[in-house]
Amino acid sequence: MSRTIKRGPPPRRPVPRRRQPVKRATLSERLLARVPVSEEAVKKAVTWTILGGAGAALLAVAAYVGVPGMIGTAIAEQAGHAGFRVQQIEVTGLKRMDRMTVYAVALDQQSRAMPLVNLEDVRAKLLRYGWIKDAHVSRRLPDTLLVDIEERTPAAVWQDNGQLTLIDAGGVLLEPVQPEAMPDLPLIIGPGANLQEPGYQALLAAAPALKPRVKAATWIGNRRWDLTFDSGETLALPEDGAGAALMKFAAMDGSRPLLGRGWLRFDMRDPAKLVARKPGLNQNHALAEPAQAGATNATAPATDGGAEGPRGDGEIQG
């Protein structure tokens, strides 16, 4: 009896496994790995940059095609909600002005969404303050306004109707001054004297030797100066040629000291002579100029120094 032998399927040969390709890091991934911040932080920064660029592009397109302002504002507000919103103010250049005033101006916005902040409007508001000579306002995305201030420099104190005000060399009003906190600056007195500050500085520059001794200057009749020295005397200068008169007085004082010698007032409104008043003096004394030193003194009757000049003055001939 024959026997049938069943053969099974031939054994399968093992299939060799395919090698998995080694994934190489891209250049951007390698650079990212070297950045000393987390990958998440970098991705957020990139996202904000893209959103900011997209928002700016949408606003530009909206303005170009004439999309109503309400739509443009809505887009800008969305950018604000996405993080582009004023949260910080960085101020540089301040020395004397109150920093909180600058903060208040910079934050005085209808909307703090960064695209809606009007930089020129902020600058214009800042320039209304006397201390601020110039200002530059810019954005630093995503949330900071940068304000760089150029301040004015105080040059004198102006007194008018009992009020004291700090001014710069151009006569711009800076801030009120309290009498008990007077700065060590020249004092100018009289209505409109602040507007004469540039000319006053030029006048003092004509006689630098006397400049440190001038403690106050009074603007008389809106046309000329009376100078008061630290030794107490007053010098009346002419309306025209005040600089030349002051130089002449400085030369005379340098050759034969006049200040600190008991005189009360000197009057140079007449270019040909210097009239000096002394307590109880009822006659004039003619003194020589520096070029005529050694001349003999003469005595003459007292004269009237003019509408503003005192009687009974001493006359120092020029």
Please report the pLDDT score of residue 82 as a whole number: 45
How are strands ordered across the β-sheet holding 144-151?
88-92, 144-151, 132-140
Q: Token pair of 127, please?
A: 């320039």
Same domain assignment for residues 214 and 294:
yes
Instruction: Find the CATH number of the domain harbouring 112.
Output: 3.10.20.310
Same domain assignment for residues 241 and 308:
yes
Contact 134, 128 (CB under 8 A): no
Please report the pLDDT score of residue 277 as a whole number: 85
Same domain assignment for residues 107 and 208:
no
Distance CA 121, CA 24 (A): 53
Please report the pLDDT score of residue 278 as a whole number: 79
Residue 19 lies in a domain: no
Q: Specify which residues 300 forms β-bridges with.
A: 284
Distance CA 205, CA 218 (A): 17
Same domain assignment for residues 201 and 228:
yes
Q: Token pair of 45, please?
A: 């920064």
Average pLDDT of the residues of the chain:
76
- Please name the residues in contact with 206: beta carbons below 8 A apart, sequence gap of 6 or more: 243, 244, 246, 247
Residue 33 lies in a domain: no
Counting the structural domains of the chain, the total is 3
Contact 102, 119 (CB under 8 A): no
pTM: 0.63
Segment 52-62, tens digit of pLDDT: 555 555 555 44
Same domain assignment for residues 228 and 135:
no
Distance CA 46, CA 224 (A): 67
Beta strands in 141-260 (DSSP E): 144-151, 154-160, 163-168, 173-176, 187-189, 214-220, 224-229, 234-236
Q: Token pair of 192, please?
A: 């409109």
Same domain assignment for residues 101 and 244:
no
The whole domain housing 264 covers 154-317
Instruction: Find the CATH number of the domain harbouring 170.
Output: 3.40.50.11690
Same domain assignment for residues 200 and 306:
yes
Same domain assignment for residues 220 and 299:
yes
Low-confidence stretches of the chain (pLDDT beneath 50): 61-72, 75-83, 286-287, 292-312, 317-318
